[in-house]
Chains A and B, each alone.
Chain A
Amino acid sequence: MSPVLKLIAQRIALGILLLFAVSVLIFAGTQILPGDVAQAILGQSATPESLANLREELGLNDPAWLRYMHWLGGILQGDLGTAMSSGQDIATSIGSRLWNTLFLAFWAAIVSIPLAIILGLLAVRYRNGWVDKLISGLALASTSFPEFFIGYVLVYFFAVKWQIFPGISTVYDGMPFGERMMAIALPATALTLVVLAHMMRMTRAAILNVMQSAYVETAELKGLSAFNVIRRHAFPNAIAPIINVVMLNLAYLIVGVVVVEVIFVYPGMGQYLVDHVTKRDVPVVQAVGLIFAAVYISLNIVADIGAIVANPRLRHPK
């Protein structure tokens, strides 16, 4: 097997191992309650019978590791369990919500990734000039803004004052594409702004690093045009760091999406999670938490694989 394939296989295996460890952590995270889950759910006024019933229902009489095995076994077969608050099957409730969240995140990524790379390039091109300073200033500001500040400012102006886009993003099955895009215009913009600054700052640093390397100077001293210097020498070496930056920042999307969905009352995974944390609906929280973690870990694996594939030393060993 070629060393690259071997490394990739190792990375994926490590990711799967990590995912199992994370499932333990998430499960353990919901077991640290001082006292009794059933008591916490039903409150102080619960009768002993109802408490006993709920314990039985939740399987609380079993040891924790057995409950974990049950839970994990179910997940591996696609059974995420039942929500305590509504009694509905979690997998069914998640279906369309997961799709909604991915749809929103996808469009935010489609806009923010090229924009971040272009702005990062511009900042490098006009380094220490006013363009660079402006971009860095905006980046500083937007890393300091809470997501809901960006979100509500957008709502206040675009939905309330100027009434261009809806301030509440209602979507439903079978909604026409155009209407759906209108509905997610503001949340997608908010999400874009949330990740843009980080992504751009890091892209700038990555490109700058490559542009200051000796081989780019060599290329310039060959009299290549600026375009060829970038296309043949800077860009191929900047791919790996940029992939890394992009993937790292898509992780911000995951956190951002939770808040943005709440702001715009968008029926996605984030809102579903927050709702059920408030209701203390542990099975839902475990399932959704695990899905978010799985997405996050997968993004990291993709980033690492990108870096492995883009590394000439690994592709062409001695």
Chain B
Amino acid sequence: MAKAPSRRRSTGEGGTLLDIRNLKIEATVYPPGEAPRKVTIVDNVSLTLQRGKVLGLIGESGAGKSTIGLSSMGFGRGGVRITGGEVILNGRDIMKGSIADFRKLRGNEVCYVAQSAAAAFNPAQRLMDQVVEAALEHGNAKRADAEKRAVALFKKLGLPDPENIGKRFPHQVSGGQLQRVMTAMALCSEPDLIVFDEPTTALDVTTQIDVLAAIKDAIRDTGVAALYITHDLAVVAQVADEIMVLRHGKLVEWGDTRQIIQEPRQEYTNALVSVHHIAHQEKKPGKDPVLSVKNVTAAYGGGVIKVLKNVSVDIHAGQTLAVVGESGSGKSTLARAITGLLPPEQGTISFAGKPLPGRLADRNKDELRQLQMIYQMADVAMNPRQTVGTIIGRPLEFYFGLRGKQRDVRVAELLDKIEMGKGFIDRYPAELSGGQKQRVCIARALAAKPKLIICDEVTSALDPLVANGILKLLLELQAEESVAYLFITHDLATVKSIADSIAVMYRGEVVRYGPKSDVLKPPFDAYTELLLSSVPEMEIGWLEKAIKTRRMESAGN
């Protein structure tokens, strides 16, 4: 290794900071009951990053983006090894260095911000000790100076009570705040490069925008360079100078942000950019709703914790009601109340004009059949020990008494409907991809020929393109079978694409409800305004605009 790198950052001036050439990363996987085998995670990827610039790495899960980010620190997670290529940081190939050399650069030249700050902080130590630790370890600063710097960073990142927040333990601070503290921790040792690994993905949408703005300001003001890893193109478009699109460990396209989102050259990039554009004509509500929820109040713990307060919504045949809200808004509880898992304390739920018994046990088979459900995690919504044939076939047997050949024919039909084909009939869920699993769950719900399907965050665990496919499928099926959907989601972009009417929920109450065009038309109530203005749009400069509008409003209030 060349002489120890200079610790003074060359402010403002250009020059290459990071140069990765022909990177190849492999891992050994140990599938249960099988021989271990080698898989290539990153294949022949090259990139360069100038000082003070931000490069966004974007791709679906399994694209190798986190692995590339960590390779800039010479780090491989759980059995991952860098097997080829060069990683040149500050003019030297770090792959030629020893473990001790890696330690000198980690937390010093390059710092890391993890997706889940809640897990990434040591629960047994105060925040300040953890924030200044790297700076002290590398001898960049004395304790008092490092703490002063940390407080300044806390202030810059908009943390409340910056003087004292460092005295708290991680569990005493909220998720959005922890993510900012983690950013402060990365900035505290004044690195040349920070690797942000999905830093806002785990946050609620209204929190995400603040954290994103704080990160962006901090990057700009300190002049640090960054690798910003995310699966959300709209997010990365707000912070990155350049964007690199990855898929299956290979480079798809690399260009400056404007070019990638406005004139994508590759088909895959184009698909990512236009992911939220689904043509859907809003349908006018019919006369008689298929499901009518009237003044429903529900609570956990024997009436102690009220989770639904006086909720009323209608769903019309063949239409989609989207229920939007952040975590804790009560939107999933509404689904539990409708399905009978949490009988309402007050209010009524009627189905096709007839009142539906509150308790699941009191409903008859036909009432159960008419109302089906699709879950967020398709993984755990299917019995791992049943084949696709059994999973889809069971409702046919159970509700319609179909057996043997008749049943198989119908299963094959349903598999066709979900665009999978009957070759899947004897597969186990573990042998399917994420998107295929969710399709099988859709087929299981359809098998009952229901009038209404409750879709609980059905796309939020999926990659954007796969999620898009699922949404399109759901809309097609709605047109064919004229089934109604109660679509629970936190993602407003999804809502805009598929809903006919919308209910916005906040702390157990419906704060805004009506046909989509009305709900999305100003004037807004405060919460809907906040929610709408927080959804990142694929537009450069959106973040600044959104923050500005928000500041003006709070000044106006």
Contacts and interface: CB of A to CB of B under 8 A. Distances in A.
Interface of A: 213-215, 217-225, 228, 232-233, 236-237, 312-313, 316, 318
A223 B119 contact: no
Contacts of B169: 312-313, 316
B112 A312 contact: no
Interface in B329-348: none
A222 B73 contact: no
B119 A224 contact: no
B334 to A, nearest CB: 28
B106 interface: yes
Contact residues on B (Cβ < 8 Å of other chain), bracket: 20 to 34
A223 B124 contact: no
24 contacts: A213-B119, A214-B114, A214-B116, A215-B120, A215-B121, A215-B122, A218-B130, A221-B106, A221-B111, A222-B111, A222-B133, A223-B102, A223-B103, A223-B137, A223-B138, A224-B133, A224-B134, A225-B103, A232-B125, A232-B133, A312-B123, A313-B123, A316-B168, A318-B171
B121 A218 contact: yes
B527 interface: no
Given A215-B119, A232-B133, A316-B172, 16 more contacts: A213-B119, A214-B119, A215-B120, A221-B75, A221-B112, A222-B107, A223-B105, A223-B134, A224-B137, A232-B122, A233-B125, A237-B122, A316-B169, A316-B171, A318-B171, A318-B172
Nearest to A237: B124
Given A215-B119, A218-B120, A228 B107 contact: no
A217 B102 contact: no
A218 B116 CA distance: 11
A50 B120 CA distance: 75
Most buried by A among B107, B122, B168: B122
A224 B169 CA distance: 21
A21 to B, nearest CB: 29
Contacts of A214: 114, 116, 119-120
Contact of A236 (B107, B116, B122): B122
Closest 8 CB pairs of A and B: A222-B107, A223-B106, A214-B119, A223-B107, A222-B134, A236-B124, A223-B103, A215-B122
A225 B75 CA distance: 14
Nearest to A239: B124
Given A215-B120, A225-B103, A220 B75 contact: yes
Contacts of B269: none
B77 interface: yes
A252 to B, nearest CB: 29
Interface of B: 73, 75, 77, 102-108, 111-112, 114, 116, 119-125, 130, 133-134, 137-138, 168-169, 171-172
Contact of A220 (B106, B122, B133): B106
B171 A312 contact: yes
B388 to A, nearest CB: 33
B167 to A, nearest CB: 10
B125 A223 contact: no
A218 B121 CA distance: 7
Nearest to B109: A223
A311 to B, nearest CB: 9
A1 to B, nearest CB: 20
Nearest to B122: A215
Contacts of A220: 75, 106
Nearest to B103: A223
Contacts of A224: 103, 107, 133-134, 137
A306 to B, nearest CB: 14
Contact of B73 (A219, A221, A316): A221
A224 B111 CA distance: 12
Contacts of A232: 122, 125, 133
Contacts of B130: 218
Contacts of B112: 218, 221
A47 to B, nearest CB: 65
A215 B137 contact: no
Contacts of B105: 223
Contacts of B73: 221
A218 B103 CA distance: 12
Contact of B122 (A219, A223, A313): A219
B137 A222 contact: yes
Contacts of B137: 222-225, 228
